[in-house]
Amino acid sequence: MNMIEDKDVRVERRETKEDRGLVASTFIKYTAYLVIFFGIIWFIISYLLPMIQ
C-alpha cells in the first residue's frame, strides 16, 4: 500500500473578500458617532463653561 493513497486530504478554502456595503455602513456609523461626540463637546465648551465662570 502506498501511503499517499490512504490519506484523505481536505483543503478548506476561505474567501476573504470584504462586503463593501458592510464596510461602508460601519464607516458611516462611526462617523456619525464622532460627529455626535464633537457636537456634545462643542455644546459644553460654548454654552455650559461660560455659565460656570
Residue 39 counted as domain residue: yes
Residue 30 counted as domain residue: yes
Residue 48 counted as domain residue: yes
Residue 32 counted as domain residue: yes
What value does the mean pLDDT take over residues 30-50? 94
Each residue of 16-36: pLDDT tens digit?
Answer: 566 888 899 999 999 999 999
18: how many CB neighbours lie within 10 A of its CB?
8
Task: Please tell me the predicted confidence (pLDDT) of residue 32.
Answer: 98
Per-residue pLDDT band for 5 (boundaries 50, 70, 90) equals low
Residue 33 counted as domain residue: yes
Instruction: Please give the Cα distance from 36 to 42 (Å, whole number).
Output: 10
How many angstroms separate the most distant Cα atoms in the chain? 90
Task: Please tell me the predicted confidence (pLDDT) of residue 8.
Answer: 65
Q: Which three cell numbers stand for residue 29?
A: 456609523
* Percent of all residues in the chain with a pLDDT value above 70, rounded to a whole number: 70
For the chain, how many structural domains are there in total? 1
Give the structural domain span for 26.
Answer: 20-53
Residue 47 counted as domain residue: yes
